[in-house]
Amino acid sequence: MLNRFTRATLDFAQHKASQSAAWASFARDAAKGFVTTAHHTVMILGVSAICALGLMFVNPDMADRLKALSPFSVAGTSEPVPATTTPVASTVAHDEPVAQAPSPEMSKDAGQERRSAANLRQQQWVTYWLSKRYRVAGDATNMLVSAAYVTAKDIKLDPLLILAVMAIESGFNPFAESPVGAQGLMQVMSKIHHEKFQKLGGVKAALNPVANIKVGSLILKDYVTRGGSVEAGLKLYVGAAAFESDSGYGAKVLAEYRRLKEVANGKHVPIFTSNINSITQKPAQMDPIEHKTIAPIEAESAAADHQELPNVKGNQVAAL
């Protein structure tokens, strides 16, 4: 009887020991499996992140699209305007505030804030695209785009048209100068339009980016108004009014203008194209108002002497 009891006790102890060992082995295997799975998961995520970074490096447009979709891409978004309350006089023991209906001024301010936020987002898209396309520093491009938007608002002209002209005329080089004397971002003939620079510091201000944008935009607005259309205004701006063709200058500007409008609307536009226009040689921009004392026949002769196509011939340059 004692032997049977002893044997049963030993069997029970061995069973408990084997059961504990099994649980320990199970826990050890489970932990090892979890660690292995986590390791593989982290490795896969790391490889995926490296592949994504490499893809964005090869294709900058994708990075631009991802930044555009981010809710943090625009700083300074408008905050909701809290509803104001005002106490209403009453004969009851205690007055309760009653919500006031938004006034027309408040609605107008809210609309302006929304437009400002949308305008800021648009400028950021345009700035990034232009800086990559023309290889200009982001801060410098931002300054030029901001100046174009401010000037466009003052003179009631589309800022994207101003930027398109700047792109074709100078490639956003503020110190560009053509063989015929056109200077700056918008290739303004400072010797002809010197009066427009008087309030901005004189003719030397032609190489000042902000002054050049202001004067060039005023000239462009004047020519568009005179011509009755953007196409006719561009033909006047390049100095090809006396010729049947502007040698493709207007088409180049309008093509860039269309691309900028697509960028401003948040669409995907390739940064690099088969042809990025170089600096256009600027014919003299004649202003009939400034030369109104010239007789009609002499004025036409003077305008013809100062005009040339973008691809001028040697004898035309010599005539200038």
Q: Is the pTM of this model over 0.85?
A: no
Residue of 263, 276, 246 whose CA lies nearest to 167: 276
Q: Quick one: 21 and 133 in the same domain?
A: no
- Say if residue 29 is in the same domain as residue 123: no
Same domain, yes or no: 175 and 269: yes
Domain boundary among 58, 76, 94: 58
Decide: 129 and 266 in contact? Cβ < 8 Å: no
Tell me the longest C-alpha to C-alpha distance in the chain: 143
Based on the fold, state whether residues 24 and 118 are members of the same structural domain.
no
pLDDT tens string 209-222: 999 999 999 999 99
Question: For residues 10 and 12, what is the distance between their CA atoms, to the nearest angstrom?
Answer: 5
Please check whether residues 39 and 180 belong to one and the same domain: no
All residues at 6 or more sequence positions from 85 whose CB lies less than 8 Å from its CB, including other chains: 97, 98, 99, 100
Do 197 and 54 lie in one domain? The reply is no
Say which CATH number the domain at 198 has.
1.10.530.10
User: Is residue 294 a part of any domain in this protein?
Assistant: yes
190 and 42 part of one domain: no
Residue 104 lies in a domain: no
Nearest alpha carbon to residue 237 among 290, 166, 177 = 166
Residues 121 and 242 in one domain: yes
Residues spanned by the domain of 51 = 1-58
Task: Evaluate whether residue 221 is within a structural domain.
Answer: yes
- Asked if 125 and 49 sit in the same domain, the reply is no
| Beta carbons of 130 and 171 less than 8 angstroms apart | no
Is residue 95 included in any domain, yes or no?
no
Do 272 and 204 share a structural domain? yes
Cβ contact 284:239 at 8 Å: yes
Strand, helix or coil for residue 97: strand
Domain boundary among 41, 58, 75: 58
Question: What is the number of structural domains in the chain?
Answer: 2
Alpha helix positions (H), the chain:
2-58, 60-69, 104-133, 138-155, 159-170, 209-227, 230-237, 249-264, 296-306, 314-319
The answer to the question of residue 274 being in a domain is yes
Rounded distance between C-alpha atoms, residue 165 and residue 98, angstroms: 54
Q: From first to last of its 320 residues, what are the pLDDT tens digits of the chain?
A: 677 767 777 777 777 777 777 788 888 888 888 889 998 898 998 888 888 777 777 676 666 666 666 655 544 444 444 444 444 444 434 444 444 555 666 666 666 777 778 889 999 999 999 999 999 999 999 999 999 999 999 999 999 999 999 999 999 999 999 999 999 999 999 889 989 998 898 889 999 999 999 999 999 999 999 999 999 999 999 999 889 899 999 999 999 999 999 999 999 999 887 655 444 455 544 443 333 332 333 333 333 333 333 333 333 333 33
Give CA 189 to chain center in angstroms: 28
Q: Is 311 in the same domain as 244? A: yes
Count of Cβ atoms closer than 10 Å to residue 53 Cβ: 11
In order of 38, 66, 125, 269, 305, the CA distances from 262 in angstroms are 44, 17, 10, 7, 39
Q: Does one domain contain both 52 and 150?
A: no
Residue 292 lies in a domain: yes
CB-count exposure of residue 304 (10 Å: 0-12, 13-18, 19+): middle
